[in-house]
Structure 1
Amino acid sequence: MTDTQQIPLDFTGTLADDGAGGLVRRTVLPGGVRVLTESMPNQRSVTVGFWVAVGSRDEFAYGHGATHFLEHLLFKGTHTRSAMDIAAAFDRVGGESNAGTAKESTVYHARVLDEDLPMAVDVLADMVAASVIDPDEMDVERGVILEELAMDADDPMDAAHEKLAEVLLGEHPLARPIGGTPETIRAVTREHVWDHYRHWYRPEEIVVTAAGGLDHDEVCRLVGEALTRAGMDLPEGAAPAPRRAVDTTAAARASVAEGTHSVHRPVEQASVIVGGRSLSTTDEDRFALGVLNAVLGGGMSSRLFQQIRERRGLAYSTYSFSAAYSDVGYYGLFAGCQPSRVDEVAGLMTAELERLATDPVTVEELDRAHGQICGGTVLGMESTGARMSRLGRAELVLGEFTGLSDALARVRAVDADAVRGVARRLLSGPQSTVVVGPVGAAG
């Protein structure tokens, strides 16, 4: 069996077998619900996640922020459980439960002892399939979300990242903040959230992933029974929903606003990001981009850290990053510095990226980047949560499962020419600079 395997929508079977009891399996249940598991022998814990391939980019025009609002409300009660019942179920077994809304997906997840997996599946399935979206709870939670947005707005770094997405993506729905804005959250009604819930939270859209001390067939049984108990109709023969296709219409609306864009905040330090358009999630150069980020701004030995912090003392924090989605992506070079140093620091960051596009990285830098990424990947795989998330990404985003050995080999195959090539790709488009701090007015 190859280490990388495509995942057809109707596939049921084994995706990977390490020969020591570590199996990755996939089953399509009635209703089109997909279940992927990874067994980790000798683990006493399990992390399970219920995924829906809907994010903030998919919201109706009248309900911006509804996806994140819904994530909060699913913890507020079902037809058979109160919010307290949901919270107490995990507290009484020492488990953890949480959720996350992204721009292209939403996940509800829990980590528990293997013996408590039936409870975790039952509670999460009940939340996903039988939430009541109580109007009174919604009014209370609206205040909580407004406080969350205010907290994020008070963080200059968060504000800079939000502004960068807006500047680089223009009218693309990915440019919108995941949580909405205070104005849209105040305007969202129970009907908006209910429409969103009923439109997306259907069996053919649901993916369940789990990793740890588990049995795949048992997980499939638990999921099917729990969703049925929650009232979800699971007809035999129903197919999973197609994976997200590239939205060329939305991509055409993405436009970069060049120049410098300032957001005034009464703080001591300026947060500055130089960025531009980057690669989509499945781009073949994504592994080279990962190595470039490690060399450029991935740690204390990176070029940005050495040049800006260690040699010149211009910043405490500096790094590079990239954000990738199904049809577009963007990159950024970040530093926090004195307002009077913004132009100098932005110039230094840009110069380091330009140098990667013209001069080959050294053998030492390449080896260090390979080791950083591969070591971090292997260490991360010791976590049941990381493996659960890897399965979700494989199913919803990539449409293929890549084993650990193949993933590491792809990273190690990135050479100096590949890094230089992807740097040139990044620099081939327009750049913008975002500055948040005591530097002018909002723009």
Structure 2
Amino acid sequence: MRPFDPLCTTYSHNIRVLRLARNPGRLGTMPPALAHVSSRDFSAVIVCVGAGSRHEPRGQNGVAHLLEHAAFLGAGQRDYRAIRTAIDELGGDVSAETGEEVILYWGSANEPRDFPECLDLVADLVLAPVFDPDSLRREVGTVIQEISGAGDDVFQTVVEGAKSLLWPEGPLGLPVGGSPRVLRRLGADACRGYWRASHDPSRMLVLVVGTAAESKQARKRFGAEVLEAPRVPLPPQWERRGEGPYPPRSRFAAKPLAGNFARLAFGLPGISWSDPRLPALDLLNGVLGRDETSHLWERIRGEGLAYNTESYVDCFSDTGWIGVLTDAPVDRAGEVVGIVCEEVASLPERLTIDELERARASHIARIRNDELAAPLEWAKYQALHGYFLGRVPTVDGVVRELERVTFEDARQVAAELLQPERLVLCAGGPRRALRACETAFDKAGGVG
């Protein structure tokens, strides 16, 4: 799963902000939380469950991803065909996605009359998966094909490699999709056990986009309470905890791959969803590599060194990371590595007011322009925001946070987070490109 920049997708509806009161003493006994975003033009239900790969039992990496697939094989009174028939008839979007800390289930309805069926289907997927052993045994092969296909996407391969450098001893460093070796050992019992442990109502947030009547239906179907609280469970006991990624044993990893290009994934320790520095970091991301006028875009894409170049920010409940993805011709891979290292090291000093304002204007324009274009993606972001922080954001609220960032704020955050001595690199490609990458990274002070 590629890192997702949710602030790039939004939409204009009358959004009611719900402030959620945290009460840790009740966690584990609470019913699901419910948030309502008022809309007369779009209807959807999104459910966040604290069941991502970070919370898997030790030795069962991939069970969360397999559970996500298992739900669509049979849930409630529906078998596989009935589920697929319902999805086709709804004509909207009913699906799920596994991340490091959540499984996200969602469904959208094209017509108001379809919302009850959409809600019932999503609720069954979350609350009543069947886990038929024979069906699940066949699905394991499908999941292995999926992650093997992802392995052919060398960008995903190097992203997972960079994460394993940042978190070499914890579950955040493991692939979200799992590995074929482990998946072949998992079955209905493992999925059922993980579902029972992870799909506790206290770890659920249900977001309804639609009318008050639709929100009432969801509240009844899930037995949810409108009085909400952040729903993030603690990391597993076997994980070494801290404010950020662990000090890596090595900061460079090479993955030999055939082809005429190298794919590079750089990573830096980042920050959590709740860190007040996040708006400033989001603007710095625009200056570094997200925008088409960014430093990396102009020096790499603009000079014809790579077609794909981007930077991103990925947040978790108590940590996060800053990433750079780029490709490079085999004979110039070392040059691209040097450029990225140089830009990360120099941005805190080279940042100018003009380029910060340009990044701010670009990001706000993107939010405003996308208001009508991607309502489901923005609703997913709202659900995640509510799950991790206990409040559902408005478009105007996000814009106000970006507008409050000063130049001094951005310079300070850049100095705190863009520390080249903490940079890691996973490179994939032909061996001669990998040698050039390692040499260039070493020259920049990166190989530990």
TM range (shorter): 0.7 to 0.9
SS at match of 1:313: coil
Partner of 1:285: 277
SS at match of 1:296: helix
Deviation at residue 284 of structure 1 after TM alignment? 1.2
- The 1:434/1:60 distance shift into structure 2, 3 A limit, reads same
Report if the CA contact (8 A) 1:354-1:423 is conserved.
Answer: no
Moved more, 297-306 or 401-410: 401-410
Partner of 1:14: none
Deviation at residue 238 of structure 1 after TM alignment? 12
Report if the CA contact (8 A) 2:35-2:206 is conserved.
Answer: yes
Report if the CA contact (8 A) 1:171-1:255 is conserved.
Answer: no
How far, CA to CA, are the matches of 2:200 and 2:206 in structure 1? 13
Deviation at residue 393 of structure 1 after TM alignment? 1.8
Partner of 1:300: 292
Question: Which residue, 2, 8, 18 being the options, matches 2:21?
Answer: 8
Report if the CA contact (8 A) 1:262-1:436 is conserved.
Answer: yes
Q: Which amino acid aligns with 1:374?
A: I
Q: Indicate yes or no: 2:67 matched with 1:74.
A: no
How far, CA to CA, are the matches of 1:50 and 1:4 in structure 2? 17
Q: Indicate yes or no: 2:371 matched with 1:381.
A: yes
How far, CA to CA, are the matches of 2:65 and 2:317 in structure 1? 20
Q: Indicate yes or no: 2:61 matched with 1:64.
A: yes
Report if the CA contact (8 A) 2:261-2:330 is conserved.
Answer: yes
SS at match of 1:32: coil
Deviation at residue 306 of structure 1 after TM alignment? 0.8
Q: Which amino acid aligns with 2:397?
A: D
SS at match of 1:92: helix
- The 1:368/1:7 distance shift into structure 2, 3 A limit, reads same
Query: 5 Å matches for 1:34-433?
Result: 34-41=33-40, 43=41, 45-112=42-109, 113-212=111-210, 214-215=211-212, 217-224=213-220, 226-227=221-222, 243-245=232-234, 250-252=240-242, 254-310=246-302, 312-363=303-354, 365-382=355-372, 383-428=374-419, 429-433=421-425
- The 1:242/1:296 distance shift into structure 2, 3 A limit, reads closer
SS at match of 2:74: coil
- The 1:260/1:47 distance shift into structure 2, 3 A limit, reads same
How far, CA to CA, are the matches of 1:385 and 1:167 in structure 2? 33
Q: Which amino acid aligns with 1:39?
A: S
Pairs aligned (count): 410
CA deviation vs aligned residue, 1:81-138 (integer Å, no higher than 9, x gap): 1111111112123222111111111111111122211001111112222211000111
- The 1:272/1:235 distance shift into structure 2, 3 A limit, reads closer
- The 1:108/1:241 distance shift into structure 2, 3 A limit, reads same
How far, CA to CA, are the matches of 2:124 and 2:85 in structure 1? 15
How far, CA to CA, are the matches of 2:314 and 2:228 in structure 1? 31
Report if the CA contact (8 A) 2:20-2:228 is conserved.
Answer: no
Report if the CA contact (8 A) 1:204-1:239 is conserved.
Answer: no
Q: Which amino acid aligns with 1:160?
A: V
Q: Let me know the Cα RMSD of the aligned residues.
A: 2.8
Report if the CA contact (8 A) 1:246-1:326 is conserved.
Answer: no
SS at match of 1:137: helix
Q: Which amino acid aligns with 2:106?
A: H
Report if the CA contact (8 A) 2:268-2:321 is conserved.
Answer: yes
How far, CA to CA, are the matches of 2:270 and 2:160 in structure 1? 16
How far, CA to CA, are the matches of 1:320 and 1:60 in structure 2? 32
Report if the CA contact (8 A) 2:50-2:103 is conserved.
Answer: yes
How far, CA to CA, are the matches of 1:417 and 1:347 in structure 2? 27
How far, CA to CA, are the matches of 1:320 and 1:208 in structure 2? 31
How far, CA to CA, are the matches of 1:179 and 1:94 in structure 2? 28
Report if the CA contact (8 A) 2:230-2:389 is conserved.
Answer: no
Q: Where does the alignment leave 5 or more consecutive residues of structure 1 unmatched?
A: 11-29, 228-233
Q: Which amino acid aligns with 2:312?
A: F
How far, CA to CA, are the matches of 1:81 and 1:40 in structure 2? 29
Q: Where does the alignment leave 5 or more consecutive residues of structure 2 unmatched?
A: 1-15, 24-28, 439-448
How far, CA to CA, are the matches of 2:31 and 2:45 in structure 1? 18
How far, CA to CA, are the matches of 1:157 and 1:366 in structure 2? 28
